[in-house]
């Protein structure tokens, strides 16, 4: 069983990760606005936007990883990136509630798949339409994630209080 101090630390780390998500989302929005004002965007403009999408996913993944590591402690060494998103939809009785619903997970999964493709582009060109498709998916993730973060933080706060009473 974890201590209330460990839960307090997790809460602080998740709040910090939440701020990183927000900061990366703002950078993504600024880059998207810049791209939309560019008369003839080229591959470097789309690469810059893709980089912000990559970083946005990474900040979400860090948040999810902390939860999985704290509560479950195991992730498949091969497919852990995909499993991590799926695991956040699970409510594990007696352990923790789901972080978010399946609909939100599908959108995060699109961001994860894009990040994988972007990280592994070597001989394939970046396709602007695909970048814009993922950008559209990412457009409201920050504000949609806030209620999930708040609910999970309340769960942790309640758990922390209960452990302090023991």
Question: Domain residues of the chain, as ranges?
Answer: 4-165
Through-space distance between the first and last CA atoms of the chain, rounded to whole angstroms:
12
pLDDT score recorded for residue 47 = 95
- Check if the beta carbon of residue 61 is closer than 8 Å to that of residue 54: no
- Check if the beta carbon of residue 95 is closer than 8 Å to that of residue 125: no
pLDDT for residue 121 is more than 80: no
Per the model's pLDDT, the better-predicted residue between 164 and 9 turns out to be 9
pLDDT score recorded for residue 1 = 58
Topology given in CATH for the domain delimited by 4-165: 1.20.120
Q: Give the model confidence (pLDDT) of 81-112 as tens digits.
A: 889 999 999 999 999 999 999 999 999 999 99
pLDDT for residue 73 is more than 70: yes
Q: Give the model confidence (pLDDT) of 25-35 as tens digits.
A: 999 999 999 99
- Residue 73 gets the label, from left (phi > 0), alpha (psi -120 to 50) or beta, of left
pTM of full prediction above 0.85: yes
The mean per-residue pLDDT over the stretch 144-159 comes to 97
């Amino acid at each position: 069983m974890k201590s209330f101090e460990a839960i307090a630390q997790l809460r602080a780390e998740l709040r910090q990760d939440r701020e990183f998500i927000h900061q990366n989302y703002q950078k993504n929005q600024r880059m998207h606005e810049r791209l939309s004002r560019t008369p003839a965007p080229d591959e470097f403009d789309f690469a810059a936007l893709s980089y912000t999408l990559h970083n946005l996913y990474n900040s979400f993944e860090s948040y999810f990883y902390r939860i999985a590591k704290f509560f479950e402690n195991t992730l498949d060494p091969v497919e852990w990136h995909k499993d991590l998103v799926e695991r956040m939809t699970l409510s594990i009785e007696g352990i923790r509630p789901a972080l978010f619903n399946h609909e939100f997970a599908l959108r995060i999964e699109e961001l994860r798949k894009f990040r994988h493709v972007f990280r592994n582009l070597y001989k394939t060109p970046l396709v602007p339409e695909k970048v814009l498709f993922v950008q559209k998916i990412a457009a409201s993730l920050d504000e949609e994630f806030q209620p999930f973060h708040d609910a999970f933080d309340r769960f942790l706060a309640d758990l922390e209080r209960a452990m302090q009473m023991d």
